[in-house]
Amino acid sequence: MISTLIGLSAATLTMFSFIPQIARALRTKSVKDVSPVTLFQLSLGVCLWIIYGVLRKDPVIITANVVTLISLGILIFLFFKYGREK
């Protein structure tokens, strides 16, 4: 029971960890403080977590990382959208 609560808490924190950065990028229309290398490296890691979750048939790992990948995708989109503007 406690391990499930810890896992769900960790998944929730991870899933929504990029929301503040997305909100800031939308508000300021700037991504000057966002590292593209970090975004792509983390995206690759999250993709590997999704594969791991599928292999283990673990819906918590899969769901948390799919949501995280979606938020990373949004941030990558904003990076290309606002990163080109001066």
Tell me the pLDDT tens digit for each residue of 25-50.
999 999 988 899 999 999 999 999 99
CB 11 within 8 A of CB 71: no
Which residue did the predictor score with more confidence, 4 or 29?
29
Please state, in angstroms and rounded to a whole number, the distance separating the CA atoms of residues 65 and 51: 10
Task: Dig out the tokens for 57 from the structure.
Answer: 């048939």
- With 0.95 as the threshold, say if the pTM is over it: no
Per-residue pLDDT at 85: 59
Domains and CATH numbers, the chain: 2-83 (1.20.1280.290)
